[in-house]
Structure 1
Amino acid sequence: MPETVILATAAAALGLIVGSFLNVVAHRLPRGQSLLYPPSACPHCGQRVRPWHNVPVASYLFLRGRCRNCGAPIGRHYPLTEAATGLISGITAGAIGLTPFLLPGLIFAWTLIALTRIDLDLQLLPDRLTLPLAGLGLALSVVGIWVPGLIGWQGPGLPPPLGSLLGLALGYGLLFATGWAYAAATGREGLGGGDLKLLGALGAWVGPVAVVLALFVAALLGSLIGGLIILLRGGGRHLAIPFGPFLAAGGWALLLWKDTLIRWYFGLSGLSG
């Protein structure tokens, strides 16, 4: 237990730093800008952000949410992304443990956080993130044949190569069929191509059975949270709510607690013996 706490704490601290970089990714990558140059600056006055003003979360609190130079407000999504990345990194490390799958699991979580931010900001899931995520899942499943601990027969880990490929195909196909049926029934496009590619990428990491449950979890969360947003903000049932964050949450949960969630689902549906 102490080792798990130390590992989770170290991962959370690393996650805060990574979260600061994910803010850059979320802003620049969809716009085709370099992730490394120029250095971060205030969008209002152009003043370069000094290193001591770029400490995750703490700098935002110290500066009281305003630019040191011009006093313009700093968006709350910056410290929220950093804090969320720290929290999710700690949970991910605690669930996986000190195994060869730890770094891939963290990269998976960080990529989903970046995609979530971009989808919330722009209603966009860039191919530059979803396609490499899918490719990495497939590649690591092959590498896992020779590296013990990457393929998760029990607990967190990747499916074997065939399962990864089937998960990718099924994930993409499920949403393709769902989107086609929705468009045929309503005459409106309900899902974007990015959603299809994201679920396909998730399938490459969790396998064909778990990707179906990931979609179920995403739909459940989308219905509950989306319904609450519509209720609070108004706009009717046609209010556009990005589905990517819910897919990301479902995929992350299935990667870490696949066996538990599958048993829960089969028990809930009455299919467990």
Structure 2
Amino acid sequence: MIPEMLLVALTGLLVGSFLNVVVHRVPRRESILYPASHCPACGHTLRPWENIPVLSWLWLRGRCRACGVVIPWRYPALEILAAVLALLVFWRLGWSARLPGALCFAWALLALTWIDLETQLLPDRITKPGILAGLLLNGLGLWWPGIALASPESALLGVLLGYGVLWLLAAGYFYFTQRPGMGGGDLKFLGMIGAWLGWQGMAMTLFIAAIVGGFVATLYLLLGKGRDYAIPFGPYLALGAALMLLWPQEILSAYLRFLGP
């Protein structure tokens, strides 16, 4: 088991390095393939030994080798989080046919969370292909049942309800307050979650996000941040989706027990 976990962790670190490129370039509408990894300050192209996840950052002491500018702590942090997330998914699913799809979904959640926290954007360049990828993965379940995270019908309904439910909530909030409550990115993000986890997973994701988001918003108000303080909703959706990916039956069972007989 230990060699397998090391392999999964190493894969997570490498993917995390790529996610750093995604997080930096996608909101800026830049290509994630060209040019090669480089220092944003001076343009220095990173050598292979300067691009080793975590270790290069430590070796360079968090600074560009060419110009000495500080390399943000986000780079090693995102790499480590991608590895930890990969280990969690592997721990829950093992070497199953669902593992590759679940890992891709989990890493997409991580990238979108970080982008939303930094820019308050959930880019279409990730959510729209994510919807198609989720529908395709679960559609393949018709011929390869072990690969799917939800049934094709549930995935399609998850997209329609995920986008539609948040649209109704956003429209209602705007009607009563004359202020936008959430952006279109949140709607597409929940639709993407529905495409991967199905309508039940999407519904529980929204429930978890609403509870956690409401709790955090209350804390912000108590701390005097004010009603106009912007709190991105994407990270709460990502948290709910990650929990439903890892512990779907346990969460559903707990929810049903909470509702009572």
Same fold (TM over 0.5): yes
- Pick one of 17, 20, 27 that aligns with 2:17: 20
Q: Tell me the residue number matched to 2:42.
A: 45
Q: Tell me the residue number matched to 1:200.
A: 191
Percent identical: 47
1:82-97 correspondence runs (5 A): 82-97=79-94
Moved more, 65-74 or 79-88: 65-74
Determine if contact 1:206/1:255 at 8 Å carries over to the other structure.
yes
Post-superposition CA distance 1:49-97 (Å, at most 9, x none):
2221211112222222112222211111111111111110111111111
Moved more, 217-226 or 104-113: 217-226
Q: Tell me the residue number matched to 2:60.
A: 63
Deviation, structure 1 residue 138: 1.1
Q: Tell me the residue number matched to 1:258.
A: 248
- Pick one of 125, 129, 134 that aligns with 2:126: 129
Deviation, structure 1 residue 223: 2.7
1:87-126 correspondence runs (5 A): 87-126=84-123
Deviation, structure 1 residue 42: 1.6
Paired residue type of 1:41: H
Quick one: distance in 2 between partners of 1:224 and 1:78?
Answer: 29
1:74-85 correspondence runs (5 A): 74-85=71-82
Paired residue type of 1:18: V
Deviation, structure 1 residue 45: 2.3
Quick one: distance in 2 between partners of 1:258 and 1:187?
Answer: 36
Cα root mean square deviation, aligned: 1.7
Deviation, structure 1 residue 46: 2.2
The alpha-carbon distance between structure 1 residues 231 and 8, as it changes in their structure 2 partners (threshold 3 A), is: farther
Post-superposition CA distance 1:155-192 (Å, at most 9, x none):
xxx22111111111111111111111111111110111
Determine if contact 2:220/2:226 at 8 Å carries over to the other structure.
no
**Runs of 4+ with >4 A deviation:** 226-232
- Pick one of 11, 27, 32 that aligns with 2:8: 11
Deviation, structure 1 residue 27: 1.2
Q: TM-score, length-normalised on structure 1?
A: 0.90
Paired residue type of 1:123: Q
The alpha-carbon distance between structure 1 residues 115 and 239, as it changes in their structure 2 partners (threshold 3 A), is: same
The alpha-carbon distance between structure 1 residues 79 and 210, as it changes in their structure 2 partners (threshold 3 A), is: same
Gapped regions of structure 1 (runs ≥ 5): 152-157
Q: TM-score, length-normalised on structure 2?
A: 0.93
SS at match of 1:239: coil
Determine if contact 1:10/1:90 at 8 Å carries over to the other structure.
no
Determine if contact 2:17/2:79 at 8 Å carries over to the other structure.
yes
Alignment of 1:242 with 2:239, yes or no, is no
- Pick one of 160, 165, 183 that aligns with 2:156: 165
Deviation, structure 1 residue 231: 5.6
Gapped regions of structure 2 (runs ≥ 5): none
